[in-house]
Chains A and B, each alone.
Chain A
Amino acid sequence: MKKLTPQEIEKITQAAMKELGPSATPEKIHQIVADVVSELERGAPSITLSPEKISSEGKVIVTAFGKNQPGILFQITKALFELNFDIQDVSQKIVQDFFTLIIIVDISKSAGDFNQLKTRLTQTGEQLGVRVFVQHEDIFKSMYRV
């Protein structure tokens, strides 16, 4: 809500007189100016939004893929440990020379936050030359559980 200055009101009055031309009467001009002033002072329509924080609860699923080499599981779990995340389940497979790792991590009990976890693990993946994905479990729940 803002208050208009006398200069601004003067400008509006001039504009109203110009627009009305010969049909201008003091009553009409007064009415138009009052309308415009009240509308401007009211400002844009208000609307109340109530955003919720996007969840940092539940479990996330960490997946890593790449060429096998010693230390992948160690480096990734080390990163999780350092950020104080609790590992719930680990599953690892090596097919020919290709390494696949899936770790389920509980993020609700940890002090660390999801974004930190994602950034850190992506970096770790880059250093090791493997691709690491971090996704909230809800996506898997909704896609595969009816």
Chain B
Amino acid sequence: MSYNFDEIIQTLRMTELDHFDIRTVTLGISLRDCASRNADTTAQKIYDKITRVAQNHVENARKVERLYGISIANKRIAVTPIAIACDGLSADEFVKIAHALDRAAMECGVDYIAGYSALVQKGYTNGDREMIKSIPQALAETKRVCSSVNVASTKAGINMNAVLEMAHVIKKTALLTKDNDGIGCAKLVVFCNVPEDNPFVAGAFHGVTEAEVVLNVGISGPGVVLDSIRRLGKSDFMALAEEIKKTSFKITRAGEIIGRKTAEGLGVPFGIVDLSLAPTPAIGDSIADIIEAMGLESVGAPGTTAALALLNESVKKGGIMATSSVGGMSGAFIPVSEDQGMIRAVELGHLSIEKLEAMTAVCSVGLDMIAIPGKTPAETIAGIIADECAIGMVNNKTTAVRILPIHGKDVGEFVDYGGLLGRAPIMPVRNLDSSVFVTRGGQIPPPIRSLTN
């Protein structure tokens, strides 16, 4: 027989025991042709276009799931950064667009739609300014809309005005959504070097250089990697790297075929496979557990950054052979609230924001889903964002901050969002003043490595 018994059993083991799934199939839709002089007309055009293109998105993905017996955890939509698609509107009018996106997502049966975004790494247009101003209200009044703002890049440097403004936007979003533990901030990401084809919400959007529509896929599979490392037992680092590469190859191949078939079923071009290992709150589906399985007492122990670098590099090397269409973030995610092992390490005091920051230098994507005390000043949050941006800018990689200042809560307490967003213990932030630095204003110039020509 052409299929070997062990291979079939192994695949079922991956899907049934190790939580292997495809994390997301994300349909990118350009909204560049929806602009008009009137906000209501624009909103209607956006709603019409999204619902027309994505009406079969969820049902089509379900068909693919049934055919291959591999579940697709999320079916989502990404759109052109709204500040670009709707430049020229006022803040109030942008909120109308957010409502149109929310309604369109509901109509299509998707839980999140991303792309309420602006790219301001080098400066603001008037539309960018208005759009960013509208973010807290837009996130508070909608359920499904996700927002991101790119404030820095290796080429442009760090727009510190935008960094400070985003810190205030985060604080305001937390305040407006305080009755739901600041859920708005879980839908808001501040980026450096944002990828334009990332399928992972909340940071997804449909880049301006992309085609009319495209389908991107994000793989998952920390549980599968964990299982293979555990079964490998004691070995040297070469053998460990080899094992991770083999596993990554298989999960990426599965991601690629599912992405291609989903795209075919919808009649849209297939875009990229994002090779990110994305954890979930399920037991065993954890990046922290992988690091511990490599031989560290807890994530956060000295050696953690090296272990994560080994993991991240090996996943990429295995994945790059498995698909010719790599894109997006393509690096392990370390969101605190979405990873049981990370939560445990934070609660035991083994993992600090500073250690997480170091870890983000060797993986994607950044300080992700980290709850901090609500009283943390905006200037301190701006300092945290600036630090992450500096890591991304100098190392020519994507970094991001998705931080949750929880109104009325302090260290020792936690927030629980349930579902994929998980549960986050409030982490201590250094109580030192950054305000004079972050309020200087202007641009931190780009690094020497931006001059590549």
Q: Which residues of A contact B (CB under 8 A)?
A: 32, 35-36, 39-40, 43-45, 47, 49-55, 61, 63, 65, 89, 91, 93, 100, 102, 104, 114-115, 118, 133-140, 142-144, 146
Q: Can you list 16 A-B pairs with a CB-CB distance of less than 8 A?
A: A40-B41, A44-B45, A45-B33, A47-B213, A50-B267, A51-B60, A52-B264, A52-B265, A54-B261, A54-B265, A100-B5, A102-B8, A136-B69, A140-B3, A143-B250, A144-B7
Known: A44-B52, A115-B66, A143-B250. A51 touches B37 (CB 8 A): no
Question: Whole-angstrom distance from the CB of B244 to the nearest CB of chain A?
Answer: 16
Shortest distance from the beta carbon of B266 to any chain A beta carbon, whole Å: 6
B39-51 vs A, CB cutoff 8 Å, 1 = contact: the mask equals 0010011001100
Do B53 and A47 touch across chains, with their CB atoms under 8 A apart?
A: yes
- Interfacial residues of chain B within 230-273, with CB under 8 A of chain A in the complex: 250, 253-254, 256-257, 261, 264-268
B254 engages A114 (CB within 8 Å) = no
- Tell whether, in the assembled complex, residue B253 and residue A143 are in contact, meaning their CB atoms are under 8 Å apart: yes
Other than A61-B3, A140-B3, give 20 A-B pairs with Cβ distance below 8 A: A40-B41, A43-B48, A47-B213, A51-B60, A51-B265, A51-B266, A54-B264, A61-B8, A63-B8, A63-B9, A93-B5, A100-B5, A100-B9, A104-B3, A135-B69, A139-B257, A142-B257, A144-B3, A144-B250, A146-B321
Closest B residue, CB atoms, query A136: B67
Q: Is the interface of B mostly helix, strand, loop or mixed?
A: helix
Is A45's CB under 8 angstroms from B34's CB?
Answer: yes
The smallest C-beta distance from B213 to any residue of chain A, in angstroms, reads 7
For residue B44, which residues in chain A have a CB less than 8 angstroms away from its CB?
Answer: 44
Whether a CB of chain A sits under 8 angstroms from the CB of B70 is yes
Are A54 and B3 within 8 A (Cβ)?
A: no
**CB pair A47 B49 closer than 8 Å:** yes
* Of A40, A45, A115, A135, the contact of B68 (CB 8 Å cutoff): A135
- A43 to chain B: which residues have CB within 8 Å? 45, 48
- Cα A115 to Cα B62 in complex, Å, equals 12
CA distance A115 to B52 in the complex (A): 26
Determine the distance from Cα of A114 to Cα of B33 in the docked complex, in whole angstroms: 40
Does chain A have a CB within 8 A of B64? yes
A43 to B52, CA, bound (A): 12
CB distance from B45 to the nearest CB of A (A): 5
Interface size bracket, B side: 35 or more
Chain B residue at minimum C-beta to C-beta distance from A114 = B67
Q: In the bound complex, what is the Cα–Cα distance between A65 and B8 (angstroms)? A: 12
Is the pair A139, B33 in contact by a Cβ cutoff of 8 Å?
no
B11, B34, B256 pick with most chain A CB within 10 angstroms:
B11
Kindly provide the distance from the CB of A77 to the nearest chain B CB, expressed in whole angstroms. Answer: 16
Residue of B with least CB distance to A52:
B264
- Min C-beta distance of B221 to chain A, whole Å: 12
Q: Indicate which residue in A32, A44, A102, A114 contacts B5 across the interface (CB closer than 8 Å).
A: A102
Decide if B12 is an interface residue (CB 8 Å cutoff). yes
In the bound assembly, the distance between CA atoms of A100 and B12 in angstroms comes to 12
Given contacts A45-B45, A104-B1, contact A138 B60 (CB under 8 A): no
Cα A60 to Cα B144 in complex, Å, equals 37
- A15 CB to nearest chain B CB (Å): 8
In the complex, the answer to whether B267 meets A47 with C-beta atoms within 8 Å is no
For B268, what are the chain A residues with a Cβ–Cβ distance below 8 Å?
49
A43-B48, A114-B67 as given contacts; A35 in contact with B37, CB under 8 Å = yes
Q: Does B395 contact A (CB under 8 A)?
A: no
Q: Considering the complex, which residues of chain B in the window 262-311 have a beta carbon less than 8 Å from any beta carbon of chain A?
A: 264-268
Residue of B nearest to A102 (CB): B8
Q: Which chain B residues lie closer than 8 Å to A54 at the CB level? A: 60, 63-64, 67, 261, 264-265
Nearest-neighbor residue (CB-CB) of B49 within chain A: A44
- B352 at the A/B interface (Cβ < 8 Å)? no
Name the contact of B52 in the complex, choosing from A47, A100, A146 (C-beta under 8 A).
A47
Query: For A39, what are the chain B residues with a Cβ–Cβ distance below 8 Å?
Result: 36-37, 41
Asked whether, in the complex, the Cβ of A143 is within 8 Å of the Cβ of B45, the reply is no
Task: Give complex CA distance A132, B257 in Å.
Answer: 23
Bound Cα distance A140, B3 (Å)? 8
Return the chain A residue nearest B44 by Cβ. Answer: A44
CA of A120 to CA of B264 in the docked complex: distance in angstroms? Answer: 27
Specify the chain B residue showing the minimal Cβ separation from A44: B48
* A136–B63 alpha-carbon span in the complex (Å): 12
